[in-house]
Amino acid sequence: MQGTVATYDAATRSGVLLLDDGTELTFPARAFDASGLRLLRLGQRVRVETDAAGEIVRVTLPTMP
């Protein structure tokens, strides 16, 4: 699944993504930390990985494996 960064707080390493259908998803610091990224920019396109319960577990760039 992919979305766009709507908010990102570098201090807490968490934020909100806006999916293509308009749904907002909040991601926790652990999902950002699992990505290996150093920062996110507002409006940046990202790929989201979720667990069986639907919680975001990883936020990466669409070009990352």
Containing H/E element for 12?
none
pLDDT tens for residues 10-20?
A: 999 999 999 98
pLDDT tens for residues 22-51?
A: 999 999 999 999 988 999 999 999 999 999
In the structure encoding, which two tokens stand for residue 16, read together? 């909100």
This prediction has a pTM of 0.86
Angle at 44 between CA 49 and CA 28, to 5 degrees: 45
